[in-house]
Amino acid sequence: MMKELIIFDLDGTLINTDTLYTLGWKTILKGYCVELPESTLAQMNGQSTEKNNEIVNSYLNSWERTLEARNKREAFVRDAMDMGLLLMKPGAQELLDELKSEGRRMALATSSPSNRAKEQLAKLGLEHYFEFIIYGDEVSEKKPAPEIYTTVLEQLAVAPENTVAIEDTRSGVLSALAAGLEVYLVTDRDTTEFADNPNVHILKSLTDIER
C-alpha cells in the first residue's frame, strides 16, 4: 500500500457502526410490524441517509412514519454508543497508529452526516489521524458517485493514481473506482462483482492489508 494518500471510509470500515445501524433498524422496525430482508439490510450499508429513508419508506408507505422510525433508529445508536458499544473494527487502531507513525497522509471520506460522524470520531478520538475529513452532507452527490473522493483529491492536491481507498461496501467501492482510485475492499459479504477487477483488492480484515 505504498501510495501517497490513503482515504478511509468510516462506517463498517474503521468502526462497527454498520452492525449498530443494522441492529437498530431491525429493532425499531419490529415496532412497525416490518422485518426487512437480510439482503435489503446489507444493501443499506454504505448508502446515504436519504437513500435508506427511501428504502424504509417503501415498506412503511408513509414519510411521517419513516422519519419517525429514522429518529428512533438514531436514538438507538446514540444509546448504544453511550453503553460503550461503539468499537473499532479489528486491526483498525493498529493500522492507523502504524500509518501515523510512518508519517503517511490519511483522509476520511464518509457518507454519514457530519453531526453523527463527528460525534463518533470524538468518542473514539480519531480526528487527529486525518489530514482532511469530508462528510456526506458536504457533497451534492453521495456514494456511489465519485464526488466525495474527487473532492478529497482536489483539496489535498493528490493524483488518483497516487491514492488508495479502503472501503467495506459496494457503493463505496464504486465511488472510489469512479474517481480513478485503487481500492481495498474489506468485507465478509459477497464480492463476486469485483472478483476480476485488478483495481480492487478483496480482504476479510484490515489486519490483512499489506503495509
Q: What does the pLDDT read at residue 24?
A: 97
Mean pLDDT, the chain, integer: 95
**Quick check: 143 pLDDT over 90?**
yes
What mean pLDDT is predicted for residues 6-10?
98
What mean pLDDT is predicted for residues 132-144?
96
Q: What does the pLDDT read at residue 47?
A: 84
Q: What does the pLDDT read at residue 20?
A: 95
Instruction: Check 9, 11, 18, 168 and give the catalytic one.
Output: 9
What mean pLDDT is predicted for residues 29-57?
93
What mean pLDDT is predicted for residues 137-163?
97
Q: How far apart are CA 53 and CA 86, in angstroms?
A: 23
Q: How far apart are CA 149 and CA 165, in angstroms?
A: 9
What mean pLDDT is predicted for residues 39-46?
89
- In which band, very low, low, confident or very high, does the pLDDT at 83 lie, cut at 50, 70 and 90? very high
Q: What does the pLDDT read at residue 46?
A: 81
**Quick check: 1 pLDDT over 80?**
no
Asked if 196 is an active-site residue, the reply is no
Q: How far is CA 24 from CA 37, 87, 179, in A?
A: 14, 16, 32
CB 40 within 8 A of CB 56: no
Q: What does the pLDDT read at residue 210?
A: 78
Q: What does the pLDDT read at residue 48?
A: 84
Q: Edge-to-edge strand order for the sheet containing 182-186?
A: 132-134, 105-109, 5-8, 163-167, 182-186, 200-203
**The pTM of the whole model exceeds 0.85:** yes
Q: What does the pLDDT read at residue 16?
A: 96
What mean pLDDT is predicted for residues 62-89?
96
Q: Is the peptide bond before 90 cis (omega within 30 degrees of 0)?
A: no
pLDDT, tens digit, 9 for 90 and up, residues 101-112: 999 999 999 999
CB 111 within 8 A of CB 150: no
pLDDT, tens digit, 9 for 90 and up, residues 153-192: 999 999 999 999 999 999 999 999 999 999 999 998 889 9
**Quick check: 2 pLDDT over 90?**
no
